[in-house]
Amino acid sequence: MTPAYRRAPTARPPAPGRAGTRSLLRLMTALLMLALAAMLWRPAQAQLRVDISGTGAQQYPIAVADFTGDPAGQAVAEVIRADLTRTGQFRLINASGSNLTSETPIAYDDWRNRGADTVSYGSISRTGDGRYEIRFRLADTVQRGQLDGVAFSGTERELRRIAHQIADRIYEKITGVRGVFATRIAYVLKQGGTYELQVADSDGQNPQVALRSREPIISPSWSPDGSRLAYVSFESGKPVVYSHTLSSSQRVPVANYKGNNSAPSWSPDGSQLAVVLTRDGLSQIYVVGADGQNLRRVTRSPLIDTEPVFAPDGGSLYFTSDRSGSPQIYQTGLDGGQARRITFNGSYNISPRISPDGKTLLYVSRRDGAFRIASLDIASGNETLLTDGPDDQSPSFAPNGMQVLYAAVQNGRSVLAGVSSDGRVRQTLSVLNGEVREPTWGPFTN
């Protein structure tokens, strides 16, 4: 499948010049290939499996003991261990048989001799109303003191979320960077003739169906507060942009103009969406209020502008355009005006995504026939190819900027994959006997 301009299907435009015609023919061919590929997606089961390779530049040795007091404590510890392992930044020290409680004095020298710089441990118990109380501790064997200690309370269904929250605390205490284990991801899954927009934990577990349709669903995009997803649905016979509130399943059309409506992207304050419309001919970028009001055109070029994404400060947009003769990434202010070209390496760069700090740009780059995820340091212009291809698409930053989620083809199958922002650690979140597409990593929610 060719991923060119995959977020912005385009109606037939007025006849352009010769160079424009070649660009448009390439675009229309790519869109047709995308549509055919979507029809050929294989059925998928709901549960994802995680495979990890590589290690970080620095690994922190940590022992994660089972929580004592209830059999559920082992499952909580297993989730924490899996979270930390997935980053490639931690080396797990065997803690079996330690039988530590939240009140146990830590034998710092013994754990240091085992090779652990930190020890995670605690207790779990049931309360009278059937809930669980989890007491967590994190000890520093080098400084010989307690790094963290907190208590959680929740139902059995909430234990996985609590485990992710504990892993987040461990990650931040040790690395100084906020953890993302308790965040969520969204992606599109096709089972038979049914499309599903699914939301899952950051590790791909606990998937929930937000929307099920017999028609394609594409381009999911998280609101900044994590309460809504914008996406494109074809259920009315053409692409329409919707805003969907996850807690209530209520949704409203945000862009339903003549022609195609596509490629939604939220502003940092959640008040607006950037969208791509063909209402005036070619695909061009517009901004519309989150309630569907106050539509305003941003770009006015003689060729195709698509795939907009807001800069973190909300003052500009990064987008894909073939105005230079081949697809490249540009930046423009919300008032339009002269766009600034950002990418210069290679002749085909699409699908921009900007890091939370605004310093790094992700995009899909075609190199030697393979579609790979590239990372560009905007200030220096230094580029790093994070993946090997052959068909890597839809990159999305984790909210702490340390990891990247994307869609990949491995051994002929479409899977979700992840890579650290330095390219050293890779993971695959695969669905047995099926395919997933269009991943997007959700924001911090508290």
Rounded average pLDDT per 10-residue block, the chain, 446 residues: 39 35 39 33 43 72 97 96 94 93 94 97 92 97 96 96 98 97 95 91 92 96 98 96 97 96 98 96 96 96 95 97 95 92 96 98 97 97 95 97 94 88 88 78 93
- Same-fold call for 18-40+183-441 versus 58-175: no
CA-CA distance, 284 to 150, in Å (whole number)? Answer: 51
Q: What is the CATH number of domain 18-40+183-441?
A: 2.120.10.30
pTM: predicted TM-score of the whole model, two decimal places: 0.86
The fourth-level CATH superfamily of domain 58-175 is TolB, N-terminal domain (3.40.50.10070)
CB-count burial class (<10 Å; 0-12, 13-18, 19+) for 93: middle
Q: What is the pLDDT of residue 434?
A: 65
Q: What is the pLDDT of residue 39?
A: 31
CA-CA distance, 322 to 304, in Å (whole number)? Answer: 6
Q: What is the pLDDT of residue 47?
A: 52
CA-CA distance, 169 to 138, in Å (whole number)? Answer: 9
Q: Which amino acid is at 183?
A: T
Q: What is the pLDDT of residue 26?
A: 43
Domain ranges of the chain: 18-40+183-441, 58-175
What does residue 439 show for φ and ψ, rounded to 5 degrees? -70, 150
